[in-house]
Structure 1
Amino acid sequence: MPRRTATLLTSVLLLIGMLCAGVLIQVPYAEMSPGPTVNTLGEHDGEPVLTVEGEETFEDSGHLNMTTVRVTGIDYRMNLLEAVHGWLADDRAVVPRDTLYPDDVSADQVEQRNAEEFTQSQESAKVVALRELGYDVPEQTVVAAVVEGSPAQDELHAGDAIIAVDGTPVREPGQVAELVTRHEPGEDVVFSVVPAEQAQEALNGGGPMPEETSEVTVTTAEAEDDQRAIVGIQAGLAYALPFEIDIQLADVGGPSAGLMFALGLMDRLTEEELTGGAFIAGTGTIDNEGVVGPIGGVSMKIIAAREAGAEFFLTPRENCATAAEDVPDGLTLVEVDTMDDALEALGLIRAGDTDELSECRPAA
C-alpha cells in the first residue's frame, strides 16, 4: 500500500476512533440554551398569562416579556462531543452538572422545588404589584408546610395561623424557627394557632385574627445535620388579595419570572401603558419587599429576548456584569435592584429619556 494512502487511512481511522470516543465518553457537564420568552401582557397557548377577576383591567400595545433557559435534564448524561460543541457555540453554555443538579437531589425533588419556587414567585409578584398600586394586602404568619413523619404531623396543618410560640407573639415567619430552637431536642413547644379555615376567613374579611386560639403542644426532635431542636414545619406568609388573580404559564419552573409578573400585573391594572408601546423583556426574582434578586443563565436569556424582538432588558444588578460581557446588537441592558428601579426605568423608556437609563457594564 502506498505510504500516502496508508497515512490517509490511518488518519481517517484515528478520526473515527476519536469521534466514537467523543460519543461514548460521558462528561460531568450540563448545557443551557435560550428558552421561550412570553409576553406577560398577552397570551400563551391561547390563554391569557394574567387573568384578573373583580377589577377593571387595561390593554397595553407593548411587551413585558419573561424569559427562560432550556437546560439538559437531570437524567441526561452529556458526552464529550456535545460538550465541545457547546463550548464552541455562541448560543450555548456548558456548565458543571452539579451546579444545576447536586448529587443528593433526585429528579422528583428538582421538579418539586422548581414548582414551589414558581408558585412563590407568583404570590410575591401579586403582593408587590398590588401594594405598589395602593391596595391593602393583609398578611399572617402561617404553617406553610408540614414535613411527613415529623413531630408536627397531625398536630399542625398547612394554613394554620401561628399567633404565638410559648406565649411569645409571632410577627413574622423567621421568629418561629428562632423560638423553637431555643429548646433542647425532646422538649415541648406550645403553639397558639387559629385553624386554617378560620384564619383564611379572617384574612379574606380584612379583619383581625380571632382572639380565641387553640394551644397545640409538639415535642421537638433533633435535626440530623446540626442537632438543633425542630418540629418539622415550614413557616410562611398567607395573604388576602382584594380580588382574584390567576397566572397561567405551563411548563415553567423556578422563581426568575417574579419581576416580570409583578410589572405585567401592574400594567394590566393601570390605565396608562407602562411600556409606552416598547418591547421590554427581563428577568429576576422578587421578594415581598420588592427586592429583585439574581438568576441563572442570564446570557442565554438576553439572547432569547433579542431574538424575540426586545429592545430593553431589565437585568438584576448582581447579573449585570456577566450579562454585559456579550450584549446582542440592538439590546439595552438596564440594571435594576428593586421594583421601584424597574418602574423608574419604564418611566424613562415611556418618556424617551433612554440616555438616563442605568445600563449594565462589564466588570472592570
Structure 2
Amino acid sequence: MRKPLVYMIIMMMLIAALSLYRLDYYIVKPGHAYEVSEFIEVADSHKHQGTLNLMTVAMQVATPLSYALSWLDPTSEIVKKEQVRRQDESDKEYDLRQQKQMTDSQFNAKYVAYNKLGLKTKVNFEGLYVLHVVKDSAAYKQLQAGDEITQVDGLPVTSLAMFTEHIAPKKKGDEVTLVILRDGKEKSFTIALKPIPEDAEERIGLGISYTAAQSLETTPPLEVSASDIGGPSAGLMFTLGIINALSEKDITKGYAVAGSGTMNLDGTVGPIGEIGKKVIAADRDGMDYFFALSTPYSEEYMKAMPGAKTNYEEALAMAKKINTNMVVVPVETVDDALTYLQQLKAPSTSR
C-alpha cells in the first residue's frame, strides 16, 4: 500500500514542479476584443448600436508544462524573456511600465479626441515618473519604479528638458537633492552622482529612466479606466471611442470595429507588436473592420531591419491566412480612421 502512495506523491510533486517553475520564456497567444465604451465614463455619454474595440494578446510566463502544451496550439508563440522585458527589469518595474504606457495612451487619446471635437483641455505637468532604476547606479536602493520626482535641488520640475539640463553639467561625486512622491507620501533623497553602470557613453548620472507625469483636465470631464490592461496599443481605439461617446451620431454606423495602434499627440498612429494575433482574436470575436498602421518605415529603419513589414502588411497577411471576412483597413492617422468610417453605409437590418 505504501508504494502506490509514494508514487502518487512523487507524481504530484512532479506535476507541481512542471506547472510552477518559471522559465525565461513567455507564451504569447491571441487575447480578446474589449468594447472601449465600457472603460469610458462621461456625463451624458451617447449610446450607440455599433462598437469600437481594443484588442489584446494573452501573455504568460512559461512553465515546463505550459511550454510543452503551447506546441499544440498553432496560434501560440514562444518568445524569449529579453524580447519582452528590459535588462534587469523587475516584475514590479515591468508591471508599472505597462500601466504607465496604458495611462499615457489614455492621456493622448483624450487630448486628441477633445481637440478633434473642439473641446477644452488643460495639461498639468506634475513631475517625472520613474520607470526603471539601474542596478548599482547612484539612485539604486533609494529611488524605485513608480516614484514621482517633483523637485530637484529645491526647484520644481517643470519639464523633462528642465530636469535633464539641470543634471547634465554635474560631475562624479556631485550631489542632487530630490523630492519625490511615493504612495502619496512626500520623501526627500540626497544622492551623489556616479557613472551609470554598463553605459556605453560612460555618462555620470542617477541611473534612472523616466517619463513625464502629467494629467489632463477636460470639459466636459471624462475618465478612462482600464487599469487591468497594460501597454500603449489601445491609443487609436480609445481616441475613436471617446469621440463616439461625445458625438450624437454613431461613427461606427452600427458595425463592430476593432484596431490596434498607439496614438501620438499630433493624431498620428504608432506601431505595435503582435498584430497578427490581434487579427486572429478580432476575427474570432466577430469584428467587421480592423484598423492597422500602414505608415512606411524610414530608409534608415529598412537598412537596419531589411524585410520589415508594416502593421498593415502583417495584419493583411494574417487575415488572408485565416480566410476572414473581416476587412483590414490601412490608416496613418486618426483622421484616416474617421474618414473611412464616415463613408461606410449602415448595415442592413438582416445582418
TM-score (norm: length of structure 1): 0.66
Alignment partner of 2:325 out of 302, 327, 330: 330
Matched, 1:177 2:164: yes
- Change in Cα spacing, 1:225 to 1:182, as seen in structure 2 (3 Å) is farther
- Alignment check: 8 A CA contact 2:172 2:204 kept: yes
Structure 1 residue 297, shift from structure 2 partner: 1.5
Structure 1 residue 182, shift from structure 2 partner: 3.5
Which amino acid in 1 is paired with 2:89? V
- 1:260 aligned partner: 237
- 2:40 aligned partner: 50
Which amino acid in 2 is paired with 1:138? K
Structure 1 residue 246, shift from structure 2 partner: 2.0
1:238-294: CA deviations, max 9, x gaps? 433234322233531111111111110110001111111111111111122222111
Structure 1 residue 175, shift from structure 2 partner: 5.0
Alignment partner of 2:29 out of 25, 28, 33: 33
- Alignment check: 8 A CA contact 1:117 1:255 kept: yes
Structure 1 residue 349, shift from structure 2 partner: 2.6
Identity value in percent:
25
Which amino acid in 2 is paired with 1:84? W
Matched, 1:348 2:323: no
Alignment partner of 2:104 out of 82, 98, 120: 120
Q: May I ask how many residue pairs the two structures share in their alignment?
A: 291
Larger radius of gyration: 1
- Alignment check: 8 A CA contact 1:29 1:83 kept: no
- 1:110 aligned partner: 94
Matched, 1:96 2:96: no
For residue 121 of structure 2, give the secondary structure of its aligned residue in structure 1.
coil
Alignment of 1:277-316 (within 5 A): 277-316=254-293
- 1:200 aligned partner: none
1:327-358: CA deviations, max 9, x gaps? 04211111122222222222233589xxxxxx
- Change in Cα spacing, 1:331 to 1:302, as seen in structure 2 (3 Å) is same
Which amino acid in 2 is paired with 1:230? G
Which amino acid in 1 is paired with 2:33? T
Which amino acid in 1 is paired with 2:171? E
Higher strand share: 2
- Alignment check: 8 A CA contact 2:23 2:64 kept: yes
Instruction: Give structure 1 stretches of 5+ with no counterpart.
Output: 1-22, 44-48, 197-215, 353-364
- 2:203 aligned partner: 228
Matched, 1:144 2:128: yes
- In 2, Cα distance between the equivalents of 1:280 and 1:313? 6
Structure 1 residue 79, shift from structure 2 partner: 6.4
- Alignment check: 8 A CA contact 1:176 1:235 kept: no
For residue 289 of structure 1, give the secondary structure of its aligned residue in structure 2.
coil
- In 1, Cα distance between the equivalents of 2:258 and 2:205? 42
- 2:56 aligned partner: 68
- Alignment check: 8 A CA contact 2:23 2:63 kept: no
- Alignment check: 8 A CA contact 2:29 2:76 kept: yes
1:156-189: CA deviations, max 9, x gaps? x948489x989xx96x534532453233344477
1:176-208: CA deviations, max 9, x gaps? 3245323334447799x9x99xxxxxxxxxxxx
- In 2, Cα distance between the equivalents of 1:314 and 1:228? 42
Structure 1 residue 301, shift from structure 2 partner: 0.7
1:45-91: CA deviations, max 9, x gaps? xxxx21114xx321211110111111122x634666435324xx2x3
- Alignment check: 8 A CA contact 1:259 1:286 kept: yes
Moved over 6 A (4+): 188-191, 216-220
- Change in Cα spacing, 1:239 to 1:303, as seen in structure 2 (3 Å) is same
For residue 111 of structure 1, give the secondary structure of its aligned residue in structure 2.
helix
Which amino acid in 2 is paired with 1:112? L
- Alignment check: 8 A CA contact 1:27 1:79 kept: no
For residue 241 of structure 1, give the secondary structure of its aligned residue in structure 2.
strand
Which amino acid in 2 is paired with 1:345? Y
- Alignment check: 8 A CA contact 1:128 1:262 kept: yes
- Alignment check: 8 A CA contact 2:52 2:252 kept: yes
1:108-136: CA deviations, max 9, x gaps? 33222212211221122111111121123
For residue 33 of structure 1, give the secondary structure of its aligned residue in structure 2.
strand
- Change in Cα spacing, 1:120 to 1:275, as seen in structure 2 (3 Å) is same
Matched, 1:320 2:292: no
Which amino acid in 1 is paired with 2:316? A
- Change in Cα spacing, 1:188 to 1:238, as seen in structure 2 (3 Å) is farther
Structure 1 residue 219, shift from structure 2 partner: 7.1
Which amino acid in 2 is paired with 1:326? M
- Alignment check: 8 A CA contact 2:26 2:81 kept: yes
- In 2, Cα distance between the equivalents of 1:301 and 1:93? 13
- In 1, Cα distance between the equivalents of 2:190 and 2:277? 48
- In 1, Cα distance between the equivalents of 2:203 and 2:85? 27
Which amino acid in 2 is paired with 1:325? A
- In 1, Cα distance between the equivalents of 2:149 and 2:93? 23
For residue 257 of structure 2, give the secondary structure of its aligned residue in structure 1.
strand
RMSD: 4.0
